[in-house]
Structure 1
Amino acid sequence: MADLAIGVNELDFAYAQLNGVEPRAVLEKVTLNLPKGSRCLLVGSNGAGKSTLLQILAGKRLTRSNAQVLGQNVFFQTPPGVTYLGTEWAANPVVRSDLEVSHFLDSIGGYRYKERRDRLLDILDVDLSWHMHEVSDGERRRVQIVSGLMAPWDVLLLDEVTVDLDVLVRSRLLDFLVQETRERNATILYATHIFDGLDSFPTHLCHLQLGTTIAPSPLEWPLNLEQAGAREAVPEEVRARMDDPNRTGSKLLEVALHWLVEDKQKRIEKEVREGGKQKRGARGQGETTNSEDFYKKYDYSAGR
């Protein structure tokens, strides 16, 4: 356990019961043990529980299940050196106010980490004279990343924060993150739906399906077929497409697409099993929707 940056075993989580409604399980039997120095991509469809897992590991949600970061219970004794960057930051009215970037970074201690701060300013191409209410969403996201990474971290939890970045800045940031893990033995858990250019980034993958990790968790990357469960996690037909000499594009994307197709099928099977029908998508032909009823009632085009 001493070599683990993240230790999660059989973790369960459900939101609290409100107004007599039974709590809904979000995570069940989640297992993810990551060694220090690793870079793990968290792969799963929307609603699989990726953000919830990252928030638990950041100490932002209470759970009494076994979840440790750097050997500590993350909610009751969150260790120093854990950094979480999520998309909700951009909705904070403070970071959309008339606030100069230099003043903002100084207010959160940027002057203490001048060398790292300046390096990140160059990598993310940030202008210290920007005013936060005038910049684009992508530029605001760059400021968030500078503010989050300028203090040295041991475990970095990323939730879709690169989605607003242009290709050049994203590539340079990923290079920086790889260097951090190699030089400082730091660890990254990164949830993303953008796999382009990521083939050489991760050391591990974690497949989260309907709130449950699919073994092996984590899966070594590049794919190690000697790892127990690897052949089942990435079946032969997927590996054949990955190894096709005429293929173009990302091998990692090939694996992610296979998993996401599988996730959708499992979700549909669960919906039918629990409610008798598939919930998402267009309704059956001939079935009138509530919106149709509404517009027919107030449709005066026929001269009524």
Structure 2
Amino acid sequence: MAQKAPSIEVNNLTYFFADASLGVHDISLSLPPQSRTLLIGANGAGKTTLLRLLAGKRLAPSGAISISGADPFKDGLEGVTYLGLEWVLNPIVRTDIGVVELLRSVGGDAYPDRRDELVHVLDIDTSWRMSAVSDGERRRVQLAMGLIRPWTVLLLDEITVDLDVLSRAEFLGWLKTETEIRGCWVRWCWVGFGMT
């Protein structure tokens, strides 16, 4: 039986940080299944805060966020993937370890077709050593690591910043296909200009 595509509901969400500063104010939105949503705003506008709340990384006020009827923080939703800066800064991806070992460590052997597709789409050379790659190459490997396991909701927080234009276009094409074939949902956060 096919998994039901997720619905995303945010109702009058206001969030304050521990120091009482405002994170986001009175956000309401309803996103349909299979949508690809781009979240654009200036630094400090609350984009990352909203994505972390949607991912269940922060506790939202009760009833403010629902993903297919569940609270992402309280219910610890399976299939919600958040790739943000703290994930990118993981020190393991700067050590002298091979791409094959890294992909295996995150389930690459359990999803070989998906692994191979991501290696192709992201133009990853499986002979790379992580200590000897560029930032863009490292980011491509990290994206593959984060996406090997199938997801139903994908939250990307400025994660494609180090990708060149061609790599980014290929990756976004892959995301589009994923949402159409698997009925999943993508929310992508970006700060900047020059987007098409």
Same fold (TM over 0.5): yes
Aligned counterpart, 1:59: 56
Aligned counterpart, 2:8: 6
* Equivalent AA in structure 2 for residue 62 of structure 1: L
Secondary structure of residue in 1 paired with 2:75: coil
Q: Is the 8 A contact 1:86 1:159 kept in 2?
A: yes
Task: Spell out the pairing of 1:1-304 with structure 2 (5 A cutoff).
Answer: 5-17=7-19, 23-65=20-62, 66-194=64-192, 196=194, 198=196
Distance 1:3 1:9, change over 3 A: farther
* Equivalent AA in structure 2 for residue 11 of structure 1: L
Gaps of 5+ in 1: 18-22, 199-304
Shift of 1:89: 2.2
Q: Is the 8 A contact 1:70 1:79 kept in 2?
A: no
Secondary structure of residue in 2 paired with 1:110: coil
Residues 40-69 of structure 1: CA deviation (Å, up to 9, x unaligned) = 111111100000110111111122241122
Shift of 1:194: 4.6
Determine which structure has more spread, i.e. the larger CA radius of gyration: 1
Identity over the aligned pairs, expressed in percent? 48
Aligned length, in residue pairs: 192
Shift of 1:170: 0.7
Secondary structure of residue in 2 paired with 1:177: helix
Structure 1 stretches of 4+ with a deviation exceeding 6 A read none
* Equivalent AA in structure 1 for residue 14 of structure 2: D
* Equivalent AA in structure 1 for residue 27 of structure 2: V
Larger RCO: 1 or 2 (CA < 8 Å, sep 6+): 2
Aligned counterpart, 1:210: none
Q: Is the 8 A contact 1:8 1:30 kept in 2?
A: yes
CA RMSD of aligned residues (A): 1.6
* Equivalent AA in structure 1 for residue 168 of structure 2: R
Give TM-score scaled by structure 2 length: 0.92
Q: Is the 8 A contact 2:40 2:190 kept in 1?
A: yes
* Equivalent AA in structure 2 for residue 44 of structure 1: G
Distance 1:178 1:194, change over 3 A: farther
Q: Is the 8 A contact 1:5 1:155 kept in 2?
A: no
